[in-house]
Structure 1
Amino acid sequence: MKAMVCTKYGPPEVLELQQLDKPVPKAAEILIKVHASTVTAGDCEIRSFKFPVLLRLPLRLFFGVRKPRANVLGQEFSGEVEAVGTGQTLFKKGDRVYGATGLKLGAYADYLCLPGSYAIARMPEGLSFEEAATIPTGGMNALFFLRKARIQAGQKVLVIGAGGSIGTVAVQLAKNSGAEVTAIDSEEKLDMLVSIGADNVIDYRKEDFTANGETYDVIFDVAGKSPFAKTVNCLKPKGIYLMGNPSLAQMFRRLLPTKKGDRKIIAGAAGYKAEDLRYLNKLLADGKIKPVVDQIFPLEQLRQAHHYVESGAKKGNVVISNK
């Protein structure tokens, strides 16, 4: 089978098209013919190994010292079940499925084997493989954080870094809860954000959201680049600050005393669950959220796709097609 292999840590050029053996499903696993995957910022971070200094040694030991142990990257996929292992009863041959690979990675290939118990679900009717592949990672991360905020109708929600895979779902989830949503990203993404429901948009290059006097019930910082103290000061007295991708400095500041009063600061990492994907399924089927696809690259052009994502220009999701 064809696969794009990460030969070592480095720029996108370390990704090479190779022929690998087609995997065989073990007990309780399913073999998936991959039709589409995506390139996320997380994929680029693993490939380049651009992590904070204090995390580099433990992450090298975990992911691999000289190159990734799981040398076929890719965290989310859509495709068809081609075979099932013994004892696997959740899916059958021919099912159209999508899901997240977790730390097994492996979506940048023609075939993928995963336990049936992973965050995998049958695709909603009417969704293309390219659209479905964009939902698992961004959708489950957005759902994880916004559930902690328990957004109520009429509240004001700010999403920082709203134009990516997590942010585009977060905007829609917050809007579905009845919130007034303000989305922050670069100018090129603002029209797209309005099209998926944002009530207000801010170009971070032209306007400092911490200086305009607005306050919010919930602030969700997807990018993890907002100034901590100033952002906390933009919360209402009982507001909630969701730190989606905090730096080490932000995590440390979170533990220090501040003038936050009853404000809550929440960080964490989403645990991918099939039940959450099925919940997103219903929202997709009801038209309450929609996938945002920017560009589609063939598997052979994965290097170009990684370059594009690292440029920061992507609007929503970049899809890799195995057709």
Structure 2
Amino acid sequence: MKAVVIRRYGSADVLQYEEVEQPKIKPEQLLVKVHASSVNPIDWKIRQGMLSLLTRNQFPMILGFDVAGEVVEVGSQVTRFKVEDAIYGSTSFPGGAYAEFAAIPENFAAPKPTNMSYEEAATVPLAALTALQALRDLGNIKSGQKVLINGASGGVGIFAVQIAKALGAEVTGVCSTRNLDLVKSLNADLVIDYTQQDFTEGNVQYDIIFDAVAKRAFSNCRKVLKPNGVYVSTLPNPEVIVQSFLTMFLPGQKVKFVLERPNSKDLVYLKDLIEAGKMGTVSDSEALRRNRTYPLQELVEAHRYSESERAVGKIAIVTLAAVSG
């Protein structure tokens, strides 16, 4: 099968499109013909070597976590899926989705939303699960609460705005000037242009501040966070880890960080939101001009574009297996 492989850490140029052996599945796994995947920042952070303590330099390595495709083989312990099922979900760490076929744990998969294409569904899992788990599990979001999403036009932020609205919150999205209309289209109650206004200097206090792009420290946000509010970051840097530990044992404001946990139950929850019309995906405008995708063999360019931090929403990757199949 064709796949994109890295044999060392480095720039996007280390991504090599080549022929590799098709994965052999374990009893609890599905073998999926990958119709589409997507680019997440964690993919190029692994590629750069930023997570080498976790990946342990196990080269060659196929990156990519998000998968949407068709089941072609099921392991002996699989009970919920059969061959030809359309699914979406996640690979195990450190990836494996940038290929024509991928092995997916059964409990990391769910039926694909019926009202989404494979390309659209492939942009959902990691980013939307991160948003859901940050708001629901860490933020304990409740209907009527005031929630601020920093980075509301990004890959995680677009889902965070929609999930918070679906859960009944009053949502403020923070983004750049060029993305104001986009975030308004996600039904945010208020949109702040960070080039014109610093939300941390405002008079409004929030129950939850979700920094979906890890750009504003808790120390900057605490005065606009309610006394018992929750600040959630996507980046577990040393400062956030220490503050999370300290606030865990003290009354008042809490600091937390989200580490996405793939699971079928949450994927089904997201699927239900999508099919009910309460959540959708947003593909980057440049990707839209390219039929909403980069082909797998152009993954180098997709990574470069994602690293530029100019992407809006998600960047989808389509495989030759999907094109030829």
Task: Report if TM-score (shorter chain) is over 0.5.
Answer: yes
Do the aligned partners of 2:55 and 2:94 also contact (CA within 8 Å) in 1? no
Q: Residues 203, 20 of structure 1: CA spacing in aligned structure 2 closer, same or farther, 3 A cutoff?
A: same
In the alignment, what sits opposite 1:54? none
Count of residue correspondences: 311
In the alignment, what sits opposite 1:230? 220
Q: Structure 2 matches for 1:113-262, cutoff 5 A?
A: 113-117=103-107, 119-147=108-136, 148-256=138-246, 262=252
Secondary structure in structure 2 of the residue aligned to 1:24: coil
Shift of 1:261: 5.7
Aligned counterparts of 1:216 and 1:239: Cα–Cα separation in 2: 7
In the alignment, what sits opposite 2:311? 314
Do the aligned partners of 2:12 and 2:303 also contact (CA within 8 Å) in 1? yes
Shift of 1:239: 1.6
Return 260-269 or 104-113, whichever deviates more: 260-269
TM-score after normalising by structure 1:
0.90
Please say if 1:28 is aligned against 2:43.
Answer: no
Where structure 1 has 5 or more consecutive residues not aligned to the other structure, the ranges are 52-58
Q: Residues 299, 157 of structure 1: CA spacing in aligned structure 2 closer, same or farther, 3 A cutoff?
A: same
The Cα offsets for residues 255-279 of structure 1, whole Å up to 9 and x where unpaired, read as 457xx96222222423221111011
Do the aligned partners of 2:130 and 2:258 also contact (CA within 8 Å) in 1? no
The Cα offsets for residues 127-169 of structure 1, whole Å up to 9 and x where unpaired, read as 1001100111011111111113232333211001222221111
Where structure 2 has 5 or more consecutive residues not aligned to the other structure, the ranges are 288-292
Secondary structure in structure 2 of the residue aligned to 1:265: strand
Do the aligned partners of 1:70 and 1:104 also contact (CA within 8 Å) in 2? no
Aligned counterparts of 2:213 and 2:72: Cα–Cα separation in 1: 37
Aligned counterparts of 1:8 and 1:304: Cα–Cα separation in 2: 18
1:103 to 93, 98, 104: 93
The Cα offsets for residues 219-252 of structure 1, whole Å up to 9 and x where unpaired, read as 1111222032220111122222122224212322
Do the aligned partners of 2:92 and 2:104 also contact (CA within 8 Å) in 1? no
In the alignment, what sits opposite 1:16? 16
Secondary structure in structure 2 of the residue aligned to 1:283: helix
Do the aligned partners of 1:2 and 1:109 also contact (CA within 8 Å) in 2? yes
In the alignment, what sits opposite 1:300? 297
Secondary structure in structure 1 of the residue aligned to 2:301: helix
In the alignment, what sits opposite 1:4? 4
Aligned counterparts of 2:182 and 2:6: Cα–Cα separation in 1: 32
> Root-mean-square deviation (CA), in Å?
2.0
TM-score after normalising by structure 2:
0.90
Return 32-41 or 240-249, whichever deviates more: 240-249
Q: Residues 241, 2 of structure 1: CA spacing in aligned structure 2 closer, same or farther, 3 A cutoff?
A: same
